[in-house]
Structure formats: structure tokens, C-alpha cells
Structure 1
Amino acid sequence: MNDWLEAEQRVERAQQLAESQQWDEALAELDAAIAINPNNAPWHAHRGFVLQQMDRSDQAASAFERAVELDPSDKDLLMALGTARMALGRFAAALQVFDRVGQIDRDFEPAYCHRIAVYAELGRHEQAEEMFYLAQQLDERCPHCFFHLGASLAMRAQYEQAIRCWRQTLALHPEYPEVRTRIARALRAQGQHDAARREYLEEYRNDAGNVELLVEMAEAAYEAGDPDAAITKLTQAIELEPDEPRAHLLLGGICFETQKYSRALRCFQRALALDDRLPGIHNHIGRTLAQLGKLKPALRHLRVALREAPEDKVLLACLASCYFNLNRFDLAATTYQKLLSIDGKLVAAHINLGICQYRLGMHDAGLRHCLLAVEFDDKCAEALRFAALGHMQLGHWRSARQALRKAAELAPEDPGIRRLRRKLIWYPLRSFLRRAIRPFRKQA
């Protein structure tokens, strides 16, 4: 009897600790109570709630599953389990739970409301709309239903209708969280950047200090063509949360695009130190190091990035360029060949592969790629210039002159084309002289 009383007292203490957000201590009390009486469904549900607050979603779902095992007809326990599965992205499993609630009580509106969200996530939008209309028959003023239907419409790029749903959510519940952010995203998708900015600002007034929201506002500002405002927002986010890797990553990206490479590198390196699993982080660092001329360190990061994204064309082009600038023409050629196997019509890649092959003494192969570049873009003066160089190396003087003439018409001020035209005057004579003195060299 004393054990049962102790268990109940521990649950009461857990409740008090949870109210003061002392989650670890609350969990310890609940674990002790459940060890005494493992068959109390509400205690397991309470434990699931505490675990959710601690971001231990898998364990929270397991706790709710245990609660449902003990009391399989309790609608509230089932709804808690369904929402826990939704948080884990297990939408099909969540749908099974909500269907079960609907079978227990066909007039229980939350079962329909949550199924709107689940069907939307599963891409079953017609059924999401069906659930919305069924829910409306039970409670036409449910803000959650309009919110979830808006999400379904936005997934289908029906942004105007989605915004109308979310406006209705606000009419029913003016403080509904994140709804203005959803409206802002829909406005951004339609190119209405000023209107989106106003929605973001209104959301931030209601949720000041939200770092994730600041980061998204920075993305929107940069997308709208205002990098200075984006940098200001990200700097503010980093001041509030110095260890937020996404803020450092995005700030680095904006600095890179605005050619502030040293600052970009510092941001990317900080992001890497905070989270070495950030998608694309080695790609960002490698490309930034390459821009700063630090080619060998750049190669280390680019090779790591290539394992993560072996068909990233920008990454492959940067890697090949580093090899080229380090005079590793064999590796550069191999990388350009891989790039062209992904997209065979990249004019710059054909030109650069041709140059690598010239450097390796493979003049015929190099000329073929430069001619392919001309074929894909006959207005590219650079392709014509290097095709002319290949013709010169192979003694095709007439073809070289024709290519250079056309290149000069396209880019009359290009110094490289001018130099090559001057060289072309002497190339045939030098070739003749080399052939002419060969017999005398043999006699000597």
C-alpha cells in the first residue's frame, strides 16, 4: 500500500516539476512511479509528454504506444500517439491511429482535423479536402482545419486559395502560431516580396527572438535582392544564438555571392565546427578556398563534397579548375570528362577539357572538344580561339585563320585573340624552317 502511495506522490511531484519545466527531474519521478505501477496508462502518457518537451520524440512515441496498449479506447491517448507519430514523419502510421479514433467516435472532430494534415503530407489531397468538409460539419470554426487545408493547397502551388485559408485561421485565432510565416512563404512563391516581408515582420512581433524565423526572414530579404538586410537579420540571429549553424551557413552563402570571400570562409568554417553534417558544407568551404587561391586545402574539401554529391556540376567544375590551376592536367581532364558525361553540352567544360588535352600533348582530342564547343555555341569567341590554337598545333593553317577571323569579329578587343593572330603569321614559317633544317641535323 505504501508503494502505491509513493508512486502517486511521485507523479504529483512530476506534475509540479513539469509545470516549472524541470524536465529531467520530472522524468525521473515518472520513471520511479512507473517502476512501482507499470500499468497506469495516464502516467505513460504524461511520460510521453515530458519526453516530447525534451526533444526525445522516438521515446515519446513509445511511451504513448504503451499508454494506448493499456487503454486502447481512450481517444485522448490515441490522439497523443497519432500526433507523436506525425512529429516523427510517420504519417501512414499516424493515419491508422486517427482512423481508429474516428471508428470509436464518428463525431470527434479532432480525428478529422488531424487527418487533413496527414493526408496532405501523404500527397492524398482530395482525401484531405474530404476530411476538411467532414470536420466542418462538426465544427465550422476550427482554425486548425483551415490551417491544414491551407498547407495542402500550398503543396499544390494553389497559393491564393492557401492564403485565404490561412487568413481564415487568423480570423478565428489571431495568435495562431506560424500562420503568418506560411502566408509569407506563399507570397514569396508568387514573387510578392514586399507583402511577404510585412507578414514576416508581423509574425516576428508576436514571436520576438525566434532565431529560425530571423534566418527565414534573411533568406526572404536576399531573395528579394536586399543582401544588406539579409546580413543584418543573420547578424541579429547569431547575436541571439551564436551556435546556430544554419545562420552561419546562410551568412557565408550571402558573403560568397557578394564576393566577400574571407568573411564567407569564416562563416562556413564556424558552421562546420558547429555541425559537421550540414548538407553541402564542404562544397561551400572548398569553393570559397578556391576563390581565395588556396587550392590544396580547397581540394580536400571538394573531394569530401564529391562523395556526398557525385553529380553536382558546379562542384565538378570547381574541382577540375583547381586541378588545372595546380597543373594537374591529367586529373583536370578526368574531372571534366566526368562533368561532360553528366551534361555533354557544357561549352566551358569542352573548352577546358580541350586545353587540358593540349597541355598533355593530345592535340587531336583537344581540338575535337574545342570544335564541339563551337558546335554548341558558334558565337563563343573563346571556343573559336582555342579551336584555332588546336588547328595551329596540327598545322591546319587555313582552318586556324578562319576560326580566328570569326573570333575577332565576335570579340575584337580580346587580347588573347590578338596575340594568337600575330602568332599565326609566324607559325607556318617556323614549321617550314623546322622541316627544312631537319636533314642538316641528321648529317651533323
Structure 2
Amino acid sequence: MDDTLKQALALGRGYYLKKEYGLAEQYLTQVVEHNQSFADVYNMLGVIYHDQGQYQKALRAFEAALRINPGYTDAALNLAVTYNDTGKYKEAQETYRHALSRSGASHGKLDRFVQGKLANMYAEIGDVYLSSGMYPEAIEEYRRALALGPAFVDIRAKLAGALRDAGQREAAIAEYEEVVRQSPTYVPARLNLGLSLYAAGRKEDATKQWQRVLEISPGNRNAEMYLQMS
């Protein structure tokens, strides 16, 4: 590789790390026009295209990175996320599984970073099902996400909401209670826990939750309204 291309590669990587994607794209594109052997360059371009909303170009870039280096976990994860963003959920899951099967993680154990990305992917699929009123499917995806990220309280709160909307009130209460146990100051969960308790006829317990919200967030309008109406 000549000095001009080396400089373009260095500049492209530098701008990419600073998230100056417009400048990074110019130099990284220059690199791949002359040398197609850098998997990380294609991965960086994929991230840039994804950020721009050019999902098809992002898919091609991540796929190119994986052709050069089939064991490139970051590229595989980015490809899976892009599949997910374009509604290709089956391909997203298959890509994740393939990436994990090639990783150096012990059998049955995943890298924490991979676990988090996979959990969020399942949660996003759950969101799609939930928005379509497909509660059993949403609940299943949220449970898959929590199996990988049990401390993700935002996902657990989504599961609780899906259970509530599916008519599984007691299960929803149990999940909301777990959320506030893990994150006592998570106001949205306490508000919804109060509503679920109130719907279950447990007015005193509901009141305690809303009063606690006001201790955490003085002047919270929702909590004040619920207390006035209860």
C-alpha cells in the first residue's frame, strides 16, 4: 500500500473515531476504491451508512467485511442490527447465532457486550409485536431479552406492560415490583405499578407507590393526578 493510501486510511480511521462521519466516509471510500482487503474499513463504512439511514449500503458493507473476515464479530453484530432495522428478523437472529458460534466464548457463555446487543435486539422485536397488538409474541421476545440481560429494567418494564395489556395483571405486578426492587428510583415503573395495583383493588398499596414517586420526583403531575383520583 502506497503512502497516499496509508494516509487516507489513517485519516479515515481518525475521523471515524471522532464521529466525523462525513469526512471519514470520503477517506475510507478512497481506500476501498484501491484496496478491498480491509475488513475494518468496510465495517466503519457500514456504521456510517447505517447512521445516514442508507441501510442497503450498510448491509453490503458489513457483508463485505464478513467475506474478508468471517470471524469479525463486530461486523456480524452490526449486520444483525441492520437486518433488524430493515425488518429482516430471521436473518438478524441467524447472523447473531453465527457470530456467537464462531466466537471464542465458552459453550453456554456469551461475551457481556454481545449479550447486551442480543438482548436489545430481542427487545426491539418485542416492541414490533407489541405495537401490532401481538401480546404473546411480544412477551416471549421480552423474556428472551431478559434471559440475556436480567438487569435491563427498561426491558423488564416493557414486559410488565405487555403482560398487563394481555390481561395478566398479577404477572405484570410481579414484574413491576422486580423493576422497582432493582431500580428504586425508576419513576415510570412505580407509576405503572401503582396503576396495576389500583386495578387489582389494592388501593392502599397503589397510594404508597405514588407517594414514593413524589418523594423521588416532587411535583410529578402523573402521581399527583393518580392520588387525587384514587
Q: Quick one: structure 1 residues 273 and 379, their matched pair in 2 at CA, closer, same or farther if it must change by over 3 Å? A: closer
Structure 2 residue identity aligned to 1:269: L
Q: Does 1:372 align with 2:178?
A: yes
- TM-score, normalization: structure 2? 0.71
By how many angstroms is 1:328 displaced? 2.3
Q: How far apart are the structure 2 equivalents of 1:409 and 1:227?
A: 44
**1:280 maps to what in 2?**
77
**1:234 maps to what in 2?**
28
Q: How far apart are the structure 2 equivalents of 1:283 and 1:241?
A: 25
CA contact (8 A) 2:163 2:171 kept: yes
**2:91 maps to what in 1?**
301
Q: How far apart are the structure 2 equivalents of 1:379 and 1:242?
A: 50
Structure 2 residue identity aligned to 1:266: Q
Superposed CA offset, 1:18-39 (max 9, x none): xxxxxxxxxxxxxxxxxxxxxx
Q: Does 1:207 align with 2:3?
A: yes
DSSP 3-state at the match of 2:150: coil
**1:383 maps to what in 2?**
189
Q: How far apart are the structure 2 equivalents of 1:346 and 1:230?
A: 33
**2:206 maps to what in 1?**
400
Q: Quick one: structure 1 residues 422 and 271, their matched pair in 2 at CA, closer, same or farther if it must change by over 3 Å? A: same
Structure 1 residue identity aligned to 2:83: G
CA contact (8 A) 2:59 2:83 kept: no
Superposed CA offset, 1:315-361 (max 9, x none): 22323223323322212212222222233222112111111111111
CA contact (8 A) 1:392 1:424 kept: no
**2:146 maps to what in 1?**
340
What residue ranges of structure 2 are gaps of 5+ in the alignment? 101-109
CA contact (8 A) 2:49 2:58 kept: no
**1:254 maps to what in 2?**
48
**2:103 maps to what in 1?**
none
Superposed CA offset, 1:233-292 (max 9, x none): 223334445897754432231354xx53x22x1322322664676623541313433xxx
By how many angstroms is 1:391 displaced? 1.0
Q: How far apart are the structure 2 equivalents of 1:389 and 1:306?
A: 37
Q: Quick one: structure 1 residues 269 and 365, their matched pair in 2 at CA, closer, same or farther if it must change by over 3 Å? A: same
**2:106 maps to what in 1?**
none
Q: Does 1:318 align with 2:108?
A: no
Aligned counterpart in structure 1 of residue 16 of structure 2, from 222, 230, 241: 222
Superposed CA offset, 1:135-182 (max 9, x none): xxxxxxxxxxxxxxxxxxxxxxxxxxxxxxxxxxxxxxxxxxxxxxxx
Structure with larger RCO (C-alpha < 8 A, sep 6+): 2
CA contact (8 A) 1:353 1:369 kept: yes
Aligned counterpart in structure 1 of residue 133 of structure 2, from 311, 322, 327: 327
Q: How does 1:28-427 map to 2 (within 5 A)?
A: 207-210=3-6, 214=9, 217-240=11-34, 246-256=40-50, 259-260=51-52, 262-263=53-54, 265-271=55-61, 274=64, 279-289=76-86, 297-308=87-98, 309=100, 311=115, 312-411=118-217, 418=222, 422=225, 425-426=228-229
CA contact (8 A) 1:347 1:376 kept: yes
Q: Give the length in aligned residue pairs.
A: 207
Q: How far apart are the structure 2 equivalents of 1:228 and 1:408?
A: 46
Superposed CA offset, 1:354-395 (max 9, x none): 111111111111111111111111111112122112212212
CA contact (8 A) 1:268 1:284 kept: no
Question: Highest CA radius of gyration, 1 or 2?
Answer: 1
Structure 2 residue identity aligned to 1:331: E
- TM-score, normalization: structure 1? 0.40
DSSP 3-state at the match of 1:352: helix
Q: How far apart are the structure 1 equivalents of 2:181 and 2:160?
A: 14
CA contact (8 A) 2:142 2:159 kept: yes
Q: How far apart are the structure 1 equivalents of 2:206 and 2:32?
A: 57
DSSP 3-state at the match of 1:283: helix
Structure 1 residue identity aligned to 2:17: E
Q: Quick one: structure 1 residues 369 and 217, their matched pair in 2 at CA, closer, same or farther if it must change by over 3 Å? A: farther
Q: How far apart are the structure 1 equivalents of 2:174 and 2:24?
A: 46
Q: How far apart are the structure 2 equivalents of 1:413 and 1:247?
A: 51
